[in-house]
Amino acid sequence: MVQQPAVERKSIKFTIKEAKAQKMMVIGMMRHAWDGYEKYAFGADHLLPLTKGRQDWMGLGISILDALDTAYIMGEMDIYHKCRNWIMDSFKIDPVTYSISVFETNIRVVGGFLSTYALTNDQLFLRKAKEVII
């Protein structure tokens, strides 16, 4: 048996002030990405940032579903509520108009609804997950 060389790991330590600054930087980056999506592509699957265009791959508002639990965890409740309202009012599956990827639908749509349901216990997300799989 060949012994593997030890790997030296450096511990990263932050002061409370540095940790708060890192947290605010991450939230700021998420907010920047969201603001661009909201301004140029809200309701579409993706923002095309170089052209400020929008793309509908499956027609499910994928970026909204991707942002939902992230916004909730980060405490960005204005984003969370805007996403929730869009899901309540506008989310619909239309496999006739768009081709649906079973893999992407399971991990991003059903997964997004179930992870948000697990965080919030909001029955809307459980109902929407069931609508997708039935």
Q: What percent of the chain has pLDDT over 90?
A: 69
Q: What is the mean pLDDT of residues 86-95?
A: 89
pLDDT given at position 99: 75
How far lies 61's CA from each of 16, 23, 38, 93, 94, in Å?
37, 27, 11, 10, 12
Q: Note the pLDDT tens digit of each residue in 58-88.
A: 889 999 999 999 999 999 999 999 999 999 9
* Cα–Cα distance for residue pair 2/89, rounded to 1 Å: 61
Q: What is the mean pLDDT of residues 17-22?
A: 89
Tell me the residue type at 53.
G
pTM, rounded to two decimals:
0.82
Q: Which of 22-31, 42-51, 97-106, 114-123 has the lowest mean pLDDT?
A: 97-106
